[in-house]
Structure formats: C-alpha cells, structure tokens
Amino acid sequence: MAQPQSDGNGKVPALIIIDMQNDFVSGSLPVPDGASIINTINSLSALPAFRLKIATRDFHPPDHVSFAETHGKPTFSTLTIFHPDDTEKENGKEQVLWPVHCVVHTTGVEFVPGLETSQLDAVIDKGTHPGVESYSAFRDIWGRGVTRLPNLLKENHVTDVYFVGLAGDYCVRYSAIDSLDFGFRTWVIKDATKSIKDEAAVFEELEKLGIRCITSEEVKKLFA
C-alpha cells in the first residue's frame, strides 16, 4: 500500500471508485452510459496525488433482501424492510426491489472490463449480509454495520475523499453523505459519475450538504 503523504497543504486525498461492476454497466441493472466514465476514472486513478485508491463492490448473496425475486414481487416496486435484529419491527425502511444483481461467484459482480485495477490499494465489499441493505461504502442503511473503509482512511491520515462511479443517485450519494458524516472533506467528480435518474438534482442536493461537486479537469488543476 502506498504511504500517504500530505500534498503540501495538509491534505491527504483518497479516490473511492464506487461499484464499477458488470451488472451496473451492461448486466441486469445497467446505469445509463455507465461505460462512458471508465476512461475518466482511469485517468483519475493514474494521478499520483491520490495517496489511497479504493474500489467498492456490491457483493450480494443470491437471496439478498434488496432483490424483487427474494420477495416474489415485481422489480422496482417497493417494500418496507426491517433490520434482522429488529424483532419488534419498530424501524422500517422503504426498499426499492431490484433485479438480481452483483451476486457472488457470477460475472456480474466482477469489475467492468477496461477499468484499471492494478493501482488499487483495497477493495471494499458491501451488501454481503442477506438481510441487510448497504448502499454506502461506509455502513449499511441502518448505520449498524460499518465496513473497514472509515478505519482504513483514518489509519492512512486521509483528509479528503473523492468519489467516482455508479450509481450517482444511490451508492455514490449515500457514500458521499456518510463520508461527510465521518468527518472527511468530501468531493464528487461529476464527469466520472453516472446516475439512474436526474444527476443535476443529486449534485444540487450534495452541494447543499457541503459536498463539493467538481469535474475531473478541475481535480487535475487542484493537484497540478
């Protein structure tokens, strides 16, 4: 793993590549134009200014709670779900029921061809528990199960976290909001992200929360 160093301004930036997987690009749950950001992500990943480069994967069991098939319901319908430990069913959350996607030991879970992964310092898998939904790279939707990402960033003295990948309105959005909540300066690189729906609305929401949404060219100028 690379040894993080300050950029001279006391900042240690990390690049987080969210869910650039076959099923989200050309498989069962494709994000429109998802393949179009691969080269931009690769150009960012090649920047030496990023002291830590991490990718995430949805990594689901075949009976995951987010799958419509698990519940015998139509895809893209909604259902109230509860944490497996919530035996009293006191804290329900509305769940979009997705097509089966990113199942372990399938080609859909693999990183999309063309994505440069040789420079990655770590891969974070999420959504591994069959009964727990996890959009964020940091924690599940209830905030009970935390991944190793927060500790990995803190152990490497990261101050600024830059997000790219899929989908902007789900896993990128949730991850960016959690990043801010964990105390990191947070950035979303707009032309290295694609959303299922209205990207502009997502960027506007994130900006209002204090997350900076910029272009890859602006990032390169920051690091020049």
Instruction: List the catalytic residues.
Output: 19, 126, 171
Long-range contact list for 214-219, CB < 8 A, 24+ apart? 214/187, 214/188, 214/189, 214/190, 215/189, 215/190, 215/191, 216/40, 216/43, 216/44, 216/189, 216/191, 216/192, 219/44, 219/47, 219/162, 219/187, 219/189
**Using the 8-state DSSP alphabet, how is residue 17 labeled?**
E
Which residues fall within 8 angstroms of residue 186, CB to CB, at 6 or more apart?
160, 161, 163, 176, 179, 180, 210, 211, 212
Cα 39 to chain centroid, rounded: 18
**Strand, coil or helix: 48:** coil
Give the whole-angstrom CA distance, residue 179 versus residue 211: 9
Give the whole-angstrom CA distance, residue 77 versus residue 73: 7
